[in-house]
Amino acid sequence: MPATPLLAEYPADIVDGSEHLVALAERYALYAAHLRSAIDSTGNQGDADTADLYTEISRDIDKRLWFLEAHLIKSEDVIG
């Protein structure tokens, strides 16, 4: 039996740019949380090398999420 996917399927019917930003930010946030959990789990198991790899990936994902969220805030300021 296949494992349940971590991320929800990306909505194929989105046409608005801000809706794409929201969908991406939601998925990045979920992935970032999963990475932080993996960092803790591998660290607790004594696998420092894997925890370090996850940490490096997490930094990149957090930075990209920050850009997405900043763009969303900027979009809300323009609209509102």
Q: Is residue 31 part of a domain?
A: yes
Res 6: pLDDT = 83
Does any domain span residue 6? Answer: no
pTM reported for the whole predicted model: 0.84
Q: Which two tokens stand for residue 11?
A: 């909505």
Query: Which of 59, 57, 80, 73 shows the shortest CA–CA distance to 25?
Result: 73
Which residues does the chain have with pLDDT short of 50? none
- Are the C-beta atoms of 33 and 58 separated by less than 8 Å? no
What's the N-to-C CA distance of the chain in angstroms?
47
Please give the full DSSP string across 25-76, using - where no structure is assigned: HHHHHHHHHHHHHHHHHHHHTT-HHHHHHHHHHHHHHHHHHHHHHHHHHHHH
Q: Tell me whether residue 24 is in a domain.
A: yes
| Model pLDDT, residue 77 | 63
In terms of residue numbers, what domain contains 42? 17-79
Residue 8 lies in a domain: no
